[in-house]
Structure 1
Amino acid sequence: MKIRRLEQIILEILVQRLMTWPKSPRPHPWLAIVDEIPAVIARASRQQASALDI
């Protein structure tokens, strides 16, 4: 169940990044996304932990 939620969060961020990525030549958006994944996982873990505290 936790993995599913994590996948959903990561996919949401991927979509947001790709939708808002400028068309001008820049480093590939996937590189920026990969840099963000650890922070996303940490945030999801905190949300999961706070949900368990209830």
Structure 2
Amino acid sequence: MSVIAYYRVSTAYQTIENQRLEINKTYKVEKESFDEAASDCVVLENLANTAYC
């Protein structure tokens, strides 16, 4: 079974590297993807472009 990790930084206080270290403690990751767009907002997709920050 392949393990694919997706890391997402949603605040300025999170890092991809910290998430990678935690995941690699449990899994042997074969492929990785990440998103570093720290927005500090929550977008509610079901409510027509409404965001709470």
What is the TM-score when the length of structure 1 is the normalising length?
A: 0.35
Question: Hey, which of these two has a bigger chunk of strand by percent?
Answer: 2
- Normalised by the size of structure 2, how large is the TM-score? 0.35
By relative contact order (CA 8 Å, sep 6+), the higher-ranking structure is: 1
